[in-house]
Amino acid sequence: MAITPVTVTFKLVDFLGFVPDIRRTKVLLDTNVDAGFLVDTTTGGSFRITDANVTIDSTGLASFTVLPSGATGLNPSAYQVRVRIDAANPVTRKRETIDLGWYTITAAADLKDLVATQYVPPTYLSTVTAELDAIRDDAQAAETGAVAARVGAEAARDAAVDISGIATPDALVETLVKNTGGAGPLTSAALQASTDARVADPTSPANQTIQGISLVNALVYGG
């Protein structure tokens, strides 16, 4: 049977001492687990603790959901969570940040009823640590791939040449050749290849012109 998640709730005012502007308030979660990944070995599924786990309603009541530390089949079998509240004080108009924890959450609770403890490393089940590492590595690889795709798209955008408003073919070629990005070198290479092909063709005007110049030189200079 899958491990049942538990929910922790709390009123922001209980910890801040003032009622914050909810629109400018963030609640962030941190764990002592690498990348926040937990594994439910009873099902082979995974659970990730991130800031996305947090919800805040219009009254300032916040909540987040985790898997209970110490649950049968959980890897790591024991872990901790830390909560950070980042809010704007309506009186001082300054942002205030409060760190709460570390907490070992074993059941649903109100955060103010939990006792903070010192940080301790998580307790892993060695037989399934490789499984947890694989899940983490896959997630990080996917994130790296997404970043690389974005960087590539931005580079392509930066290298693009605006050819709108160019009236003549000659002006278009001149604009492309002057571009220092991908368009410039590619256009120059294409022009050179086209020129070489025309010169090599004995029936082309370019080739015949070169042959004519060579003949004149021979007659004038006796070459």
**Confidence bin at 140 (pLDDT 50/70/90):** confident
Do 117 and 174 reside in the same domain of the chain?
no
Whole-model pTM: value is 0.58
203, part of any domain:
yes
State the residue range of the domain holding 21.
Answer: 6-128
What is the model's pLDDT at position 187?
57
Do 110 and 208 reside in the same domain of the chain?
no
pLDDT digits (tens, 9 = 90+) for 169-198: 666 556 655 665 556 566 566 656 666 766
Do 114 and 177 reside in the same domain of the chain?
no
pLDDT digits (tens, 9 = 90+) for 3-12: 999 999 999 9
pLDDT (mean) for 129-152 = 70
151, part of any domain:
no
Do 12 and 121 reside in the same domain of the chain?
yes
163, part of any domain:
no
Residues 6+ apart with CB under 8 A from 103: 80, 81, 82, 83, 111, 114, 115, 116, 117
**Domain tally for the chain?**
2
